[in-house]
Amino acid sequence: MNKRKYLVIDFDSTFTRVEALDELCDIAHEGKSDKQEILQKVKHITDLAMEGSLSFREALEQRVDLLVANKAHLAQLISRLKEKVSESFKRNREFFEKHSDDVLIISNGFKDFITPIVTAYGIKEENIYANTFIFDEEGNITGFDHTNPLSQAKGKVKLMQELDLADGQVFVIGDGHTDYEIREAGLAHKFYAFTENIERQSVTQKADHVAPSFDEVLYVNKLPRSISYPKNRIKVLLLENVHPNAFKAFEEEGYQVELYKGAMDEAELAEKIKGVSILGIRSKTQITKKVLEKANRLMLIGAFCIGTNQIDLEACMEKGVAVFNAPYSNTRSVVELAVGEVIMLMRNLPDKITAMHQGKWNKSATNSFEVRGKKLGIIGYGNIGSQLSVLAESMGMDVYYYDIVEKLALGNATKCTSLKELLNTVDVVSLHVDGRSENKNIFGEKEFAQMKDGAILINLARGSVVQIPALVHNLKNGKLKGAGIDVFPEEPKNNQEEFISELRTMPNVILTPHIGGSTLEAQENIADFVPGKLIEYVNTGNTFNSVNFPNLQLPQLENAHRLLHIHKNVSGIIAKINGVLAQHNINIVGQYLKTNEQIGYVITDIDKTYSEEVIKDLKSIEHTIKFRILY
């Protein structure tokens, strides 16, 4: 038979986010000149006691003396504490209501403020063990009940001995040394160091388990909880120096986040990816089959950029890993750089600037032109190409574009029906195609030959698109007036590696280190956008905007449990899912299905009550790739 499980929970910095006596002191000394000094003293004494370097009785006496508080202050403290209940306790209110017989609050704090806070969560008054204040006739706190074991050193141990909870297993959850003492005395089966509010190394070191949230305690003990999976178990690995806002967003969500400045090569990443649930990368990190093979927990990849050609999207799909990117956030930055480069190259500025740095004064109009009235040819009229079209036109350029799919011409832009037509026509060619494998090496000798003599090439798209030897050849023979190149077939992995290319030292060539999207605005926009998408997928299963998953925009989950089933797209899976549910008499509240060629994604919202058997049966449906439950 399953033994009863008692949860012994500490109050200060565990059930609530704060130390109540510190707060009381803050309230009682409001407006007084020595407030900060007294507060510091109280906090210091609290810390000493928590770390176990000052006996509790002494600490308590010293603090109560410093308080100079009364009943009116206590009332204020209670209202303050109501707002400071720890988030994970707040969201598990239902657990306390349902398991009130097995939850005990054992605190060295005071019932006077603990009782109103915890009883509001369904915890029974008779299960609250704490000190009590003594007041004088005017309601001033003058001391505390010294006979209470909790006012003494090792008070929690003494109390637990008196309580005798031998009929069950005892789990102590707290942030301080006095909580650990219960376990040390052999009166608890496990001590969970609760670190949601404060992490004390001296305490976590001794713990059986570190619990960054109350969900974690419930999860490891298979107890009912408000969320299906503790967020602190979700590990995020962010590479390539993504903007700190992304770190912040994941951390605020309660995930464990690790940052890494550069990209990682295949072997490094294959090692590092183990245990990671969410991976954040930019354009450099290659996500290969080999990396994915080692990804035992991976559910999501966030490309903190536009391009996703660096990711084996199909392999991700087959593994049930959803990929999201930031399709718009850096587009303006790329466009602005393209505009700047068109002007600079038309004026022959790269050479002029280099000469000036060498002390050469070359005032001349030879080879320098205005952009007004010149023809700009945009290859790839997507989010970037079409914005460039508008900006270039507003500078007086005559815009032509070519795209493999039908695109609406903006402003007065002229659509070309072939690449050749565009290349034959324009003075400046700007590449804005994506990095799909079919675009590899599409720009070579043939395309250069089709360009007008003295034309300019700009490539801010992908390094794989242009054949570098052909570009070098056409710069050397004077066919091209100049080039602006931001992306290269081989790019250094980090800022320490040397950039090696035949293009170095070529005249009238702007070389930039893949910085088309590297503005503070763009990076911030990306970091504000991508984490939201990833977190939404974790919390609701929403795949809207995913680049490799069937796109489903789902309603919020309300009072139901959501089953997310990713499977190979073979016929009959949804029937099998519904067969399992029918067998177990489970009522479907809502169901959504979307497939692409390779995979199917079925979301089923069901009534909350079901047995573990259902989950087992659903997981064992043939062709299942991934399955998870959300609530």
Ligand X SMILES: O=C(O)C(=O)COP(=O)(O)O
Ligand Y SMILES: NC(=O)C1=CN([C@@H]2O[C@H](COP(=O)(O)OP(=O)(O)OC[C@H]3O[C@@H](n4cnc5c(N)ncnc54)[C@H](O)[C@@H]3O)[C@@H](O)[C@H]2O)C=CC1
Lookup result for tokens 């141990």: 157
Single-letter amino acid code for the residue at 268: E
How many Cβ atoms from other residues are within 10 Å of residue 366's Cβ? 6
The verdict on 193 binding ligand Y (CB under 6 A) reads: no
Interaction residues for ligand X, span 457-496 (CB under 6 A)? none
The verdict on 487 binding ligand Y (CB under 6 A) reads: yes
Among 121, 214, 381, 537, binds ligand Y (CB under 6 A): 381
Q: Which stretch binds ligand X (CB under 6 A): 246-254, 281-289, 542-550, 609-617?
A: 281-289
Cα-flanking dihedrals φ and ψ of residue 502, to 5°?
-65, -15
97 is catalytic: no
Among 347, 375, 462, 562, binds ligand Y (CB under 6 A): 462
514 is catalytic: yes
Phi-psi region of 142 (alpha: psi -120 to 50; beta: other; left: phi over 0): alpha
491 is catalytic: yes
The verdict on 402 binding ligand Y (CB under 6 A) reads: yes
Interaction residues for ligand X, span 127-156 (CB under 6 A)? none
Q: How many Å separate Cα 187 from the centre of its chain? A: 39
Cα-flanking dihedrals φ and ψ of residue 202, to 5°?
-60, -25
Among 198, 395, 442, 593, binds ligand Y (CB under 6 A): 442
Give the 3-state DSSP-derived string for 54-94, with helices as H, strands as E and coil as C.
CCHHHHHHHHHHHHCCEHHHHHHHHHHHHCCECHHHHCCHH
- What lies within 8 Å, CB to CB, of 502 at 6+ separation is 468, 469, 472
- Which of ligand Y, ligand X, none does residue 433 bind to, with CB < 5 to 8 Å depending on kind? ligand Y
Catalytic residue from among 61, 491, 524, 536: 491
Cα–Cα distance between 543 and 549 in angstroms, integer? 7
- Taking the complex as a whole, the smallest distance from the CB of residue 506 to ligand X amounts, in Å, to 22
- Which of ligand Y, ligand X, none does residue 432 bind to, with CB < 5 to 8 Å depending on kind? ligand Y
Catalytic residue from among 432, 462, 562, 565: 462
How many Cβ atoms from other residues are within 10 Å of residue 573's Cβ? 20
- Taking the complex as a whole, the smallest distance from the CB of residue 515 to ligand X amounts, in Å, to 7
The gap between the terminal CA atoms of the chain, to the nearest Å, is 28
Token digits for 380? 């790839």
Cα–Cα distance between 361 and 343 in angstroms, integer? 21
Among 100, 115, 383, 624, binds ligand Y (CB under 6 A): 383
Measured from the CB atom, the residue of 463 and 531 that comes closer to ligand Y is: 463
Q: What is the dihedral of CA 620, 624, 626, 630, to 10 degrees?
A: -70
Asked whether 431 and 455 are in contact (CB, 8 A), the reply is: no
Q: Which stretch binds ligand Y (CB under 6 A): 111-119, 358-366, 401-409, 547-555?
A: 401-409
- Taking the complex as a whole, the smallest distance from the CB of residue 381 to ligand X amounts, in Å, to 17
The verdict on 548 binding ligand Y (CB under 6 A) reads: no
Interface with ligand X: number of residues (CB under 6 A): 10
- Taking the complex as a whole, the smallest distance from the CB of residue 436 to ligand X amounts, in Å, to 12
Cα–Cα distance between 528 and 302 in angstroms, integer? 12
Q: Is 83 exposed, middle or buried (0-12, 13-18, 19+ CB in 10 A)?
A: exposed
The verdict on 283 binding ligand X (CB under 6 A) reads: yes
Is 450 strand, coil or helix? helix
Token digits for 581? 């549910």
The verdict on 575 binding ligand Y (CB under 6 A) reads: no
In 175-242, which ranges are E strands? 190-194, 209-211, 235-238
- Which of ligand X, ligand Y, none does residue 282 bind to, with CB < 5 to 8 Å depending on kind? ligand X
The verdict on 562 binding ligand Y (CB under 6 A) reads: no
Catalytic residue from among 233, 332, 514, 561: 514
The verdict on 387 binding ligand X (CB under 6 A) reads: no
- Taking the complex as a whole, the smallest distance from the CB of residue 409 to ligand X amounts, in Å, to 24
Residue 314-333 contact track with ligand X, rule CB under 6 A, x = bound? ----------------x---
- Taking the complex as a whole, the smallest distance from the CB of residue 251 to ligand X amounts, in Å, to 21
Token digits for 110? 């005071």
Token digits for 354? 């280099």
Selection from 399, 372, 375 nearest residue 388 by Cα:
399
The verdict on 174 binding ligand X (CB under 6 A) reads: no
- Residue sitting closest to ligand Y (CB): 382
**Which residues of the chain form contacts with ligand Y (CB under 6 A)?**
306-307, 330-331, 334, 379-385, 402-405, 432-435, 439, 442, 460-462, 486-487, 514, 516-517
**Which residues of the chain form contacts with ligand X (CB under 6 A)?**
282-284, 305-307, 330, 514, 517-518
What is the set of active-site residues? Answer: 462, 491, 514
